[in-house]
Amino acid sequence: MTASSGESGETESPVAFVRRVLRGMWRDMVSVYYANTLVWRVLKSGALLFLGFFCWIGGNLTLSFVDWAPFRYVTAYGFALLFWGPFTHLIVVPLVIRLRRTADHPVTRFFSRHGSKTNLTVFLVVVVVLGTFPPGVMTFQFGGAASGAPDITGDLQCTKTPDTVHCHLVNPQGVDHVVVLSGGETIETDEQAPFEFDIPRDELAEVNDQEQFTVELRDENGNTQRRFVRQVNLIPGE
């Protein structure tokens, strides 16, 4: 009777397994990051453009209804990525790879070793600055149907002075009354057509460090059928 053969090796611990998987994922990510054929560069740039648009538009949409601070940085990340994604994979990465092969000056050798890290650091700093101090070009306004009611229509037009914002509805149909809110508080209610009203700017709350208000078109039951979100910095002056 032959003796049974021993085990070929010790069983891998869960911690070692996780570490091995994470190391493999990191190596795969680095290999994709430095993939430098034309096809890879175009694919990576296109994917980051798509991700940038998704984060930028999604962040703005969320911030139009709730002022959640993390979404300021999601919006800033998406906005910055529209430029930084293609810039990184069409210019920075190919340049770093080339310099690693040919650099002979101390400055170019330093960039070849630290160029990608420097680029990522600058990108993160830009995201933080844009998220903390968002420029007007990074934000945009939303207006649309709240419950899809086709019988309530009207387009909101506004102008501003240093002290007030003047708004009126163009071609309102089916509107029972208009409610103006800012910071979750009602600051104006207009129940008479042609629904023209003035909003004192000192009563407006700030969202992303910008004065912002919401105009809701409601039916006779008080249900919101259309909603317009406006930022004062994007409204033209009189």
Span 30-41, pLDDT tens digits: 777 777 788 888
Identify the sign of the CA torsion 119, 120, 124, 125. Answer: negative
User: Which pLDDT score is estimated for 3?
Assistant: 46
Q: What is the rounded distance in angstroms from the CA atom of residue 78 to the CA atom of residue 76?
A: 5
- The tokens describing 40, both together, are 């890879």
| Mean pLDDT, the chain, whole residue set | 80
Q: What is the rounded distance in angstroms from the CA atom of residue 53 to the CA atom of residue 75?
A: 9
**Contact criterion met (CB below 8 Å) for 229 and 181:** no
Q: What is the rounded distance in angstroms from the CA atom of residue 118 to the CA atom of residue 106?
A: 16
Over residues 133-141, the mean pLDDT reads: 72
Q: What is the rounded distance in angstroms from the CA atom of residue 81 to the CA atom of residue 77?
A: 6
Beta bridge partners of 198: 166
Amino acid type, 165: V
Q: What is the rounded distance in angstroms from the CA atom of residue 112 to the CA atom of residue 19?
A: 29
- The tokens describing 73, both together, are 């940085």
pLDDT, tens digit, 9 for 90 and up, residues 106-129: 777 777 777 788 888 999 999 999
Query: pLDDT-based confidence at 4, cuts 50/70/90?
Result: very low
pTM: predicted TM-score of the whole model, two decimal places: 0.58
> Strand, coil or helix: what is 100?
helix
User: Which pLDDT score is estimated for 84?
Assistant: 92
